[in-house]
Structure 1
């Protein structure tokens, strides 16, 4: 069966908020309801390397979007998606929590790349009751995770410390000989 490409109207902008990704797209996909426009494809995201997404995922500006089933093994032929340990709760404008956004970086050849995945998972009771929380929606982009100089290690040890982190940890205050004095 050939894949049909949807033709969108001129000037169409796809720039959804985190809330819209979960409520308008992910929850509908998980419940097997139609989305309009139906532009976000289903992919096995964890077998695709990020620079190959342009052929398979929906692209808007510099970001790629796709649905995937949640898996623990995120290995690809060229590397793997590593969880950063950073996550963010997603709330509606009414203050109700509807989902969680996890941040992952793509690691290849033992080093992290500039490819970042934001993996959205629904936490609404409606999808959990139906057993539909295995679907996620992913937003992939190339760039920095944050504006800071935080580095993510692609080893199993976890997060690599930046220079400033090492300076602050070296000043942990456990030396009993050090006294704090104030000018008089």
Structure 2
């Protein structure tokens, strides 16, 4: 698994909301490589939040990972409940949506609220076409798509 250990000494991973969406999520959804390749892909429903240690990219007290967007955000012992949405803007263009979720232990009607908070970032419809000078001009863009991946499938990625 790629991780923060792939970064040179002295480098830290502290991206802004805009950077997460433009430089990581947009590239993942477009099936382009992310440079540096340090954010792992996880199936969120397989893990409770305390099990992400060592699986997700850790930076301070935050963990980062890609996952497929799902309607249900259940885990073995609980579920994530969305509490807020916020639009992420770059250069006057709406590039994404940041959802804030809280983890609850137990079944929905008898759940216990925890202190676990997750921010889930989504691309806005058409955000891959939004021209912005913030996109990296030094990275080489590839125009091909991998076989077996539909446009709909590639846009279902989120970064948490």
The one of 78, 101, 116 equivalent to 1:104 is 101
Distance 1:70 1:63 in 2: 20
Q: Which runs of 5+ in 2 are unaligned?
A: 130-149
Q: TM-score, normalising length from structure 1?
A: 0.68
Please provide the CA RMSD for this pair.
Answer: 1.9
Q: TM-score, normalising length from structure 2?
A: 0.78
Per-residue deviation, 1:46: 2.5
Per-residue deviation, 1:100: 0.3
Distance 2:127 2:81 in 1: 29
Q: Name the structure 2 match of 1:135.
A: 157
Contact 2:2 2:39 in 1 (8 A): no
* Larger relative contact order (CA 8 Å, sep ≥ 6): 2
Report which of the two structures shows the higher radius of gyration computed on alpha carbons: 1
Per-residue deviation, 1:81: 0.8
1:1-184 alignment to 2 at 5 Å? 3=1, 6-84=5-83, 86-92=84-90, 94-109=91-106, 110-125=111-126, 127=128, 130-131=151-152, 132-138=154-160
Contact 2:2 2:38 in 1 (8 A): no
Distance 2:16 2:28 in 1: 17
Distance 1:104 1:31 in 2: 25
Per-residue deviation, 1:27: 0.4
Per-residue deviation, 1:127: 4.3
Q: Which runs of 5+ in 1 are unaligned?
A: 139-184
Question: How many equivalent pairs are there?
Answer: 134
Runs of 4+, deviation exceeding 3 Å: 3-6, 126-130
Q: Name the structure 1 match of 2:136.
A: none
